[in-house]
Structure 1
Amino acid sequence: MKLRYAMVCSSNQNRSMEAHSLLKREGFSVSSYGTGSHVKLPGPSLREPNVYEFGTPYKQMYDDLRRKDPDLYKRNGILPMLKRNYSVKAAPQRWQDNAADGYFDVVLSFEEKVFDIVIEDLNNRKHSLLKSVLIINLEVKDNHEEAAIGAKLTLDLCQELEAVECWEDSIDDIITAFGQQHNRKMLYSISFY
């Protein structure tokens, strides 16, 4: 089965882009999105994040932060993250603004509040295709190490979904077994396009 995937996180583009990058390298049809109002990256302090509009090229963010404080943003992993991001796609996209991208078979989020936002957004859309979409939340902490682990788990989960004839028939078993095997909190829901 060849499914189309969307990776969705909040606003900093770390977990979704790490998973996007890995799945893309493995030949999956994948896109990635954020759900916040802006892209927020760590700044010199918690009160001073770097805020960008969705659609701002990753390369532009990279150049901006490199100009501001290259040592800080290299040390905290933001410059390498942005370099990875612009090798995957040009700019971050907002989930709620990209309905024109068509439909996805599976949407994966990495925190429960994003899972809720995706479900609410899908439920508020016009369901003209009546095509099912599986929304899964795989809880992943928002740091570079956990994002890499989460991406590998996402790949494993997507490979399991690809291996079944029809995910609708086996999703309960897949999610339960996967969550237990990897000791991860898993949520899922089904919506429609």
Structure 2
Amino acid sequence: MKFRYAMVCSSNQNRSMEAHFLLKREGFEVSSYGTGTHVKLPGPSLREPNVYEFGTPYKHMYEDLRRKDPELYKRNGILPMLKRNLAVKTAPQRWQENATDGYFDVVLTFEEKVFDMVVEDLHNRDHVLLKPVLIINLEVKDNHEEAAVGGRLTLALCQELEATENWEDSIDDLIIAFERQHRRKLLYSISFY
């Protein structure tokens, strides 16, 4: 089967974009979104994040941070992350504003509060098409190393879904097998468009 995927995280564009990058490279039809009110990237201190509006081009963020402190943002991985993001798409998009165009077969989130937000959002929409959408949460810590691991696990999960003849009938077994093999607990729910 060929599915349309959405990767959704909070607001920093690391976990969802790592998964987006890997899936896109493997030929999957994939989009990525954030759910926060702004894109927040680490700054010189916890109290001084770099905050951008959704829709701000990654190129602008990259140039802005390179002007501010190239060594800091290279060392903490933000410049390489933005460079990767540039290779995937022009700018970050917000789930609540952009995910109404068409539909997705599978939505993957990387933290439980985002999973809850996506489930609630899909639940509150008008279900016109009555087309099922599978929402899965794979908990991934918000750092570059874990984002890389989470991206690879997401790719493996999506490959398993693609190999499934009828996911509605086999999702419980697929999830259990994935959890055993990778020692990661998944949350999942089914909603409709």
Give the TM-score range, shorter chain.
over 0.9
RMSD (CA atoms):
0.6
Aligned twin of 2:117? 117
Same amino acid, percent of matched pairs? 84
Aligned twin of 1:87? 87
Alignment of 1:40-55 (within 5 A): 40-55=40-55
User: C-alpha deviations, 1:102-142, integer Å up to 9, x for none?
Assistant: 10000000110000010011011111111000000001111
Letter in 2 for 1:177: A
User: C-alpha deviations, 1:133-174, integer Å up to 9, x for none?
Assistant: 000000111110111111110010000000011110100011
Aligned twin of 2:183? 183
User: C-alpha deviations, 1:59-102, integer Å up to 9, x for none?
Assistant: 00000000000000000000000000011000000001013321
Which stretches in structure 1 are left out of the alignment for 5+ residues?
none
Give 1:191 shift.
0.3
Aligned twin of 1:158? 158
Aligned twin of 1:139? 139
TM-score, length-scaled by structure 1: 0.99
State the aligned residue count: 193
Letter in 1 for 2:154: T
Structure 1 segments of 4+ aligned residues over 3 angstroms from their partners: none
TM-score, length-scaled by structure 2: 0.99
Q: Give the whole-Å Cα distance in 2 for the aligned partners of 1:22 and 1:187.
A: 22
